[in-house]
Every structure is written in C-alpha cells, then in structure tokens.
Amino acid sequence: MPRMRMNQAISAAIADEMRSDPDVIVLGEDVAVAEGPFKTSEGLLEEFGPLRVRDTPISEMGFLGAAVGAAATGLRPVVEIMFVEFLGVALDQLSTEGAKFHYLSGGLVKVPLTVRASVGAGLGFGTQHSQTLESWVVGTPGLKLAVASGPANAYGLMRAAIRDENPVVVLEPRRLYARREEVTVGEEGIIALGRARPVVAGDDATVVALGSTVGAATEAATAASWSADVIDLQSLQPWDREMVYESVARTGRLVTVEENPLSGGWGADIVAAVAADLFGELKAPPLRITSPDVPVPFGKELEERYMPSSAYVGEQVTELLDTGRVPPPWWQREEITT
C-alpha cells in the first residue's frame, strides 16, 4: 500500500479513472499546466494531454455549465471548484440544471458529473474562503454528496464519484491535503457512496463526524475516559442510516461533530432521524457539537476556536455522559452570546 498525501491520492484516483475510461475529462481553474493550486491534478496534463485536461477561465457558471452539458451527452467530467464558495456563482448549473436532467428527461439523460471543491477553515484563508457549505448541496434531490476525511477515502470516494451516473459533489477539507497515510489503490480502494466508515469502536456513545471533524472526534474518543463508536459518515447524500442506527441502538447516545454553523448544519438531519426512529433507545438527548453561527473569522486563535477541537469534543461528551443533559456550547458557557 503506497503512502501518500491526500492531494496525491486525489490525483491518483482521477488518473486511474482517466486510464480506464477515455470519456473522463478534467476541467477547472489552473488544473492543467499548474496541476491545481492544491496539486490535486498532478501529472494529469502530461499523461492525458490538453484535449482531456483543461484550464478554464475564472468563470464557474460557464465551465460548470459546460461540464453539465458534456456529462449529459456522454463524457464524465471532473470539475474542480477551487474554493467551495466559488460554487455560489455556478449553483444554478449544479442544483437546478444538472441535478434535474435525469428527472426531467424521464430517465433518458444521465449526468455523470463529479464536482470537487476544497472546503473548511484552518489555513487562514479568511471568511470568504473557509466555509464547508455542505448545506448548499444537501436537500437537492438528484445530487449526491461525499466528504473526504483523509487520503484513503479521498481516493476511494473520488473513484466512486467519477463512476457514478449522477452528479456527485466531493468536498475536500483543505487542511488535510498535506496529511499522509497508506492508501489502498486500485479497484479494492474504491469506497461505495452512501457508506459510512467505523473508525473507533466503543459503548458509551455514537460520535458521528464528517470530513475535517473526523480527526478531532477520533482523538477525543481515543483520549477520553469514556468509550464511543466514532463513525466517519463519508457520504452525506445519501447517508448511512444503517450504520448510524445500529450503533445508536447499542450505545443509546448520539453526538454529531460538525465544522459548520449550528443553524442548518448537516447534524440536524441525523439528529432528527435518530430522535424520531430510535426515540425509545436513547439514554440521553442527542448532542450537536458545531461551530457558532458566525462567519469564519481570520485571526489564528479565533479560527481555531471556530473549528471544534478534540479537547472541546471530549469536554462536551464527558458532560453529556455525566449529567444526561446537552451541555451549552462554549460561546454560551463563556457568556459571549446566548
């Protein structure tokens, strides 16, 4: 098993799909000659040439729209949106056009499109380049959404996304690009969309994390006096109810760890589903650990507070277990806001 950084794993996944299918093309700003601002398309131009690997103008509505049209007519475009915020100017093409073509063609037009975007805080990119924005994608039937949490699942989810017959958004936490781990490559490395990954096993709680928060949740569970199942959700649309339900039915406690504002975060859907379907199994109210309802701040210390840390996850879960109640988030404890 090769050891690689997450950005290398992404390049490798795309390259493997391009080798096996001549219809796979790559579009995005600076993805060809520069091999991607985060080096997520390393070697692609050299191996596959300028017909299939293209630098685009800074023009997301144009090139994402073109990718929708190319996908609808037979290609499998992989589009890079450099920072997920840039999807805002192109969201019509993804959510209102591409996501609807299969439905609005009576199943005759497929849109096998992969949209990759870097997300998240931690690198000091400031308010307009640090959000996670899963909420822009979930809740749109016709789209799938996967979120990488490291090199191995970045590789596996990317290959599954490119093979999928639907528009799939793959979000890549930017601060994990340089993280290294061993990656299972080849067919065995492919990870089915919609399947979560058990990371740590335990009995006191089920901690559901996604993308950038998988690390904090895992560290917290490993260091704590309590033990928990830590589940890396990996896919958010659809999400793996089976694994989450099986775990919560056993532990009786659900915790979600989210790098996004409290309001409208993905954890609310998981909590609502579990609360409704497993009400009788719960020993405590579900706990959502999130960022506050603020834009991502720039100052280093502030940005670090924005992201749920392993220490914070540990404290919150400990208090839930001790009291049986949901503890207030840090910004209420410290009486900064109500």
Partner 1 sequence: MSTPLERRLALQQDRRVRYERMVEIRTLENKVQDLFDEGLVHGTTHLCLGQEAVAVGVAAAARTTDQVTCTYRGHGVALALGLTPVQLLGEILGREAGSIGGIGGSMHLCDPEIGLMPTFAIVGAGIPVAAGAALTAQVRGTDDAAIAVFGDGSTNIGAFHEALNLAAIWKLPVVFVCENNQYGEYSRIDLTTPVDDIACRAESYDIPSAIVDGQDPDAVAEAVSGALDQARGGAGPTLLELKTYRYAGHSRADTAPYRPEGEFERWYEKDPIVNFGRRLVDEGVLGDNGVEEVEAAVDARIDAAVELVLASAPAPVAAMFANVLAP
What are the residue numbers of the active site?
Answer: 129
Task: Give the residue, chosen from 25, 154, 157, 160, that forms a contact with partner 1 under the rule CB under 8 A.
Answer: 25
Interaction of residue 236 with partner 1, rule CB under 8 A: no
User: Residue 40's closest CA among 68, 78, 76, 84?
Assistant: 78
Task: Give the residue, chosen from 12, 67, 81, 214, that forms a contact with partner 1 under the rule CB under 8 A.
Answer: 67
Q: Give the H or E element holding residue 324.
A: none
Interaction of residue 114 with partner 1, rule CB under 8 A: no
Number of other residues whose CB lies within 10 A of the CB of residue 41: 26
How far apart are the C-alpha atoms of 140 and 100, rounded to whole Å?
Answer: 9
Task: Tell me the number of residues near partner 1 by CB under 8 A.
Answer: 47
Strand, helix or coil for residue 76: strand
Interaction of residue 107 with partner 1, rule CB under 8 A: yes
Contacts of 301 (CB under 8 A, 6+ apart): none
The answer to whether 157 and 78 are in contact (CB under 8 A) is no
The answer to whether 37 and 30 are in contact (CB under 8 A) is yes
State the minimum distance, in angstroms, from the CB of residue 62 to partner 1: 3
Q: Give the H or E element holding residue 209.
A: strand 205-209
Strand, helix or coil for residue 55: strand
Within residues 256-285, the interface with partner 1 by CB under 8 A covers none
Binding mask 123-162 for partner 1 (x = CB under 8 A): ------------------xx-x------------------
Interaction of residue 70 with partner 1, rule CB under 8 A: yes
Contacts of 312 (CB under 8 A, 6+ apart): 216, 289, 330
Interaction of residue 321 with partner 1, rule CB under 8 A: no
Interaction of residue 101 with partner 1, rule CB under 8 A: yes
State the minimum distance, in angstroms, from the CB of residue 37 to partner 1: 20
Interaction of residue 241 with partner 1, rule CB under 8 A: no
Q: Summarize as ranges the residues that interact with partner 1 (CB under 8 A).
A: 23, 25, 51-52, 54, 56-57, 59, 61-75, 77, 89, 92-93, 96-97, 100-112, 141-142, 144, 165-166
